[in-house]
Amino acid sequence: MKVIDILEFIDSFAPFNTALPFDNAGLLVGDGQREINKIGAVLDVTAQAVEYAVQNGIDLIVSHHPVIFNPLKRLQTDSVPYLLAKHDIAVISAHTNLDAARGGVNDALAKALELENIAPLSENDGGDFPPMGRTGTLKRPMSDRDFAKFVAEKLSTKAKAVLSGKEIAKVALCGGAGEDFIAPALKAGADALVTADVKHHNLLLAKSLGLCLIDAGHFETENVVVPILAEKLAAFSAAETVIIPQFPPAVWF
């Protein structure tokens, strides 16, 4: 099994040509023709993730967030790209293409929240790229406060919530930074939006529009895809596949 085989497999369910224009997805480090023996799935390729890979014989890391996003201006010996090259570890990153993919980040988030009747939700009307977000219904309606607690429990975190005072039955979601989905969520008839990285002015906007908005953390709303990604890779590849242990970079108090 070669790196290129894994790249083509990921492309079969999360096509890289569906990544958004600003994105940097694909084979970002390493040789596509290299034979691999062990794969590590992870959200972020950090120095700690690389150290774990080195210690555990992982020669290919498959991540969600791109290990190289902005153009490199220097390559220092303690930088993650340098360490990857030094230890001959390849990296494939599936970012916005995995956000939108069937069975990807947002389907994983919908599953974690036990939603039913899942449907796509786009942040615009049409366009050349598949919808990133999702809508779904709760098994039973609940109050906005109970829903905020439910989200926090299911994602093992603490959530910041804009409360609407309304019952929550239909939910919109976008894992990671999805504050642009406020208007689409309302248009879709959602009672609540679950996302992350919401700026103050958009919290105020949601409040003024009567939308329950749950900011449950970028890591927490996206890391739910890692076990699913690892399961897919393990089913496809003869190489051993493991999840690289990782914890949120910030702690909620």
Residues annotated in the binding site for a divalent metal cation, as ranges? 64-65, 99, 218, 222
DSSP3 helix / strand / coil % (the chain, rounded to 5): 35, 25, 40
| Residue bearing tokens 């051993």 | 240
CA quadruple 214, 187, 22, 105: dihedral, nearest 10: 50
How remote is the C-alpha of 148 from its chain's centroid?
A: 20
Per the annotation, binding residues are 64-65, 99, 218, 222
Stretch (H or E) spanning 173: strand 167-177
The rounded distance, in Å, linking the Cα atoms of 185 and 212 is 10
What is the DSSP code string of 83-137? HHHHTT-EEEE--HHHHHSTTSHHHHHHHHTT-EEEEEE-SSSS-SS---EEEEE
Stretch (H or E) spanning 155: none
The rounded distance, in Å, linking the Cα atoms of 67 and 84 is 10
What is the DSSP code string of 222-249? HTTHHHHHHHHHHHH-SSEEEEPP---S
What Rg, from alpha-carbon coordinates, does the chain have?
A: 19
